[in-house]
Copies of this chain bind each other. A is one copy, B any other.
Amino acid sequence: MSEMLKVAVLGAKGRMGTAAVAAINAAQDMELVAALGRADSLDVLLERGAQVIVDLTVPDSTEANIHFAVEHGIHAVVGTTGWDAARLAALEALLAKHPETGVLIAPNFALGSVLATRFAAQAARYFDSVEIIELHHPRKVDAPSGTALRTAQLVAAARAAAGVPDAPDATETELDGARGASIDGIPVHSVRLAGLVAHQEVLLGSHGEALTIRHDSFNHESFMPGVLLGVRTVGSRPGLTVGLDGYMDLDG
């Protein structure tokens, strides 16, 4: 029988952390060796022999956590935000000195959402028009969503790289806001509706056809298969990987 992978969760008391603890406990091939909160010492990771950490803490503490892990040869899967260019550069410099250690920084762990964004970016150059509709519960404070912003930027960049002209649009009279927000030229529409959770549609259209890529997130469990995929894979991918799709086999 193969050895169990020793995993620790940092930020284990938060909503995401609680779900990660449950998912790791339920995984047949993993052993949860530590579930650390804000006040706990990272030395516990060494005492318990953690091989992989899952960091779901806060922007203020994630960098120190990851540097500690890398310096001790512990692989890291990071869901915390706040990794700007300077932090990424410092981390890459550190990883260069620990060439067998892997770090995954993933802005999104929902496999369906990661795939939806990737497919949208790949398809974008082959259509005349692209627009994005994101739909969320009405407690959300920002519009558009971060995922929609990122998708629009990737779509726009792919179209620019392929030399695709602007989408046709004959609008002459518009009520303010009807055509959505423009993100690098891609219209993004934000719906806020009681009952919904988190949903996104990318609509691509051309000459008599349309392709729609829709992702529905019904609850926070949806992130856990992606976290487990990260934990299982990070040990075999030394260096820094940004984005969970870097661990997915999408050549077929």
- Taking Cβ atoms with an 8 Å cutoff, the residues of A that contact B are 110-113, 115-116, 119, 121-123, 125-129, 131, 133, 135, 138-144, 158, 161-162, 167-183, 187-197, 203-222, 224-225, 248-250, 252
Chain B positions within 8 Å of A209 at CB level = 110-113, 195, 215-218, 222
Known: A189-B191, A222-B208. A176 touches B173 (CB 8 A): no
B110 adjacent to A115 (CB under 8 Å): no
B248 adjacent to A143 (CB under 8 Å): no
Q: Which residue of B lies closest to A174 (CB)?
A: B143
Majority SS at the chain A contact face: mixed
Chain B positions within 8 Å of A215 at CB level = 209-212
Q: Which residue of B lies closest to A113 (CB)?
A: B209
**Given contacts A129-B192, A142-B173, could you give 14 more A-B pairs where the C-beta distance is less than 8 Å?**
A112-B206, A127-B194, A129-B195, A138-B169, A143-B171, A177-B181, A179-B190, A187-B191, A187-B192, A196-B218, A208-B217, A208-B220, A208-B222, A209-B218
Cβ distance A147 to chain B, nearest Cβ, rounded Å: 13
Tell which of A122, A161, A194 has the most Cβ of chain B within 10 Å: A194
Q: Identify which of B169, B172, B204, B220 contacts A142 (C-beta below 8 A).
A: B172
Q: Which residue of B lies closest to A192 (CB)?
A: B169
A170 adjacent to B141 (CB under 8 Å): yes
Name the 7 nearest CB pairs between A and B, nearest first: A195-B205, A209-B222, A193-B205, A208-B222, A128-B194, A112-B211, A175-B181
A205 adjacent to B210 (CB under 8 Å): no
A214 adjacent to B217 (CB under 8 Å): no
Q: Identify which of B129, B141, B191, B203 contacts A138 (C-beta below 8 A).
A: B129
Cβ distance A214 to chain B, nearest Cβ, rounded Å: 4
B250 adjacent to A122 (CB under 8 Å): yes
What are 16 pairs between A and B in contact, CB < 8 Å? A111-B126, A116-B211, A119-B213, A131-B192, A133-B189, A142-B173, A171-B190, A178-B181, A189-B191, A195-B207, A195-B208, A195-B222, A196-B210, A207-B222, A207-B225, A212-B215
B218 adjacent to A208 (CB under 8 Å): yes
Cβ distance A220 to chain B, nearest Cβ, rounded Å: 7
Chain B positions within 8 Å of A168 at CB level = 138-139, 192, 194
CA–CA, A158 to B204, complex, Å? Answer: 25
Q: Which residue of B lies closest to A193 (CB)?
A: B205
Chain B positions within 8 Å of A192 at CB level = 129, 131, 167-171, 179, 187
